[in-house]
Amino acid sequence: MSATPDRKPRLTAADIRARKGGEPVVCLTAYTTPIAEIVDRHCDLVLVGDSVGMVLHGLPSTLGVTMEMMILHGQAVGRGLSRACMVVDLPFGAFEESPEQAFRNAARLMAETGCQAVKLEGGVHIADTVRFLVARGIPVMAHVGLTPQSVNTLGGYKVQGRGAEGDQVLADAQAVTDAGAFAVVLEKLPAELGARISREIAVPTIGIGAGPDCDGQVLVIDDMLGMFTAFRPKFVKRYAQLGQDADKAIEAYAAEVRARSFPGPEHSFAAELKNG
């Protein structure tokens, strides 16, 4: 029997929860199989975020994202993962009506994508739904602070939790933790508040623009790879400039096609095979 390389076991929601106060949790978004294969080698948690609507589909916000879109991209990402825990967003309108609606849609996401958990945006008002899902076998990652699905009521994508508002964000994080969430995303908060919440709740915090003291960090992969030249939130560090590289590569290709220098002989087929 031929030897096969040892594979690390697939991480679960329980594994992520157990990382509280330990080694930081590394998380990125992914929307396609090739990117998922790369991310899987380096990350503990892979989020199929509803940000896919803006990043890949050109939507002005996440509000137009559908269950079908999340399932399609969840299936694609799932094909590329062997180790990381996969979490898929429940899109706007898929869970707010009632816990029963949330369960139907969460169960569908898990069954059709093979994900290990779902993510819901919201705090105190969504705690009963989180509790309902967890009691029925669906691990939940919560998301408080800036919640993009509420952009119209929040008045834009601005920092949340400044001043006295910080107590409400903490209350939101505590409510979903008490309801059974295994981790809580903290988005666009003052660093001091991110640290405070991370100290006070019993599950890992995953920060995105919430300072360095969270239990883990997440970024939208297209942001950190520099796929966009104009859009750059303050909390994003660009580890590459793939958008600029792609623009230069496409410019060179277009110039060669127009000059008829591509394809060259090495990219073309002969009419007959040569002997020998």
Residue 119 annotated as binding site: yes
Domain ranges of the chain: 13-242
Q: Which of 104, 102, 193, 180 is nearest to 139 (CA)?
A: 180
Q: pLDDT, tens digit, for every residue of 164-206?
A: 999 999 999 999 999 999 999 999 999 999 999 999 999 999 9
Pick the CATH number of 13-242 from 3.20.20.60, 3.30.1240.10, 2.60.40.10, 3.40.50.720: 3.20.20.60
pLDDT band at 3 (very low <50, low <70, confident <90, very high): very low
Q: What is the dihedral of CA 181, 156, 72, 225, to 10 degrees?
A: -90
Residue 247 annotated as binding site: no
Asked if the model's pLDDT at residue 5 lies above 60, the reply is no
Q: Which residues of 224-254 are buried (b: 16+ CB within 10 A; e: fewer)?
A: bbbbeeeeeeebbeeeeebbeeeeeeeeeee
Q: pLDDT, tens digit, for every residue of 59-101?
A: 999 999 999 999 999 999 999 999 999 999 999 999 999 999 9
Return the CA Rg of the chain.
Answer: 21
Rounded Cα distance between 123 and 219, Å, is: 21
Q: Which residues of 13-30 are buried (b: 16+ CB within 10 A; e: fewer)?
A: bebbbebbeeeebbbbbb
Give mean pLDDT, residues 103-117. 98
Cβ-based neighbours of 167, under 8 Å, separated by 6 or more: none
State the catalytic residue, choosing from 97, 187, 200, 272.
187
Q: Can you give the pLDDT at residue 120?
A: 98
Give the pair of three-digit tokens for residue 131. 């509790």
Residue 20 annotated as binding site: no
68 is known as an active-site residue: no
The larger pLDDT score, comparing residue 127 to residue 273, is at 127
Q: pLDDT, tens digit, for every residue of 18-39?
A: 999 999 999 999 999 999 999 9
Q: pLDDT, tens digit, for every residue of 131-140?
A: 999 999 999 9
Tell me how far CA of residue 242 lies from CA of 3, 54, 220, 227, 248, in angstroms: 38, 18, 14, 5, 10
Q: pLDDT, tens digit, for every residue of 208-230?
A: 999 999 999 999 999 999 998 77
Rounded Cα distance between 55 and 59, Å, is: 8
Q: Can you give the pLDDT at residue 4?
A: 46
Residue 188 annotated as binding site: no
Rounded Cα distance between 207 and 205, Å, is: 6
Any idea what DSSP says for residue 77?
A: H
Q: Can you give the pLDDT at residue 7?
A: 61
Any idea what DSSP says for residue 93?
A: T
Q: Can you give the pLDDT at residue 31?
A: 98
Residue 248 annotated as binding site: no
Give mean pLDDT, residues 252-273. 94
Token pair 């919560």 in the structure block, residue: 142
